[in-house]
Amino acid sequence: MKRVKAIIFDWDNTIVNSFDHLVIFHQEVGRQLGWPPVTEEQLRAVWGKPFEELIQALWPTHESKDFDMAYRQHILSQTVPAVEGAVETISKLKDSYLLGIITAAPRYEVEHFMTHHGLDKADFLIFQTSGESEYHKPDARVFDTAIT
């Protein structure tokens, strides 16, 4: 029997309960920019795409760079709750397993929320965020770096 050596986590709704909060954050930033409103259903339909693709899918006539700058400023003043038991579980696992995070979320967002929840990037051998792989989930090649 093979022994588990590493555990790779997704971020959103695995370590943090983020979806409901991020929907509101996206809507607020779009409103601040004067862009057309988007619904939760519209966000849900494109959720999980790389950040830039998600923004382009929601607001195709606007610059994703403009949204990124405004969102970055907004998100750094926000918090999202951790999934119950996630932080404690990571704390217990980090001494026995190699840990990683592979997510479509932007690096600055994940780092901000990690700090808020007392998680240390150094506890994760692999920390791969949006735009850091040419592949994207559900394409299994997104895990190539972690596997090697």
Helix (H, G, I), strand (E, B) or coil at 15: coil
In whole angstroms, what is the distance from residue 55 CA to residue 124 CA?
Answer: 28
Please tell me whether residues 70 and 86 are part of one structural domain: no
Write out pLDDT tens, residues 4-53. Answer: 889 999 999 999 999 999 999 999 999 999 999 999 999 999 988 888 88
Q: Answer whether residue 1 is part of any domain.
A: no
Please tell me whether residues 86 and 141 are part of one structural domain: yes
Sequence-distant (6+) residues with CB within 8 A of 108 are 72, 75, 76
Helix (H) or strand (E) holding 114: helix 107-116
pTM for the model stands at 0.86
Helix (H) or strand (E) holding 103: none
In whole angstroms, what is the distance from residue 84 CA to residue 135 CA?
Answer: 30
Write out pLDDT tens, residues 104-139. Answer: 888 999 999 999 999 999 999 999 998 888 888 888
- Containing structural domain, residue 67: 19-75
Average of pLDDT values for 64-69? 93
pLDDT at 1 over 80: no
**Can you list the positions of beta strands (E) in 17-87?**
none
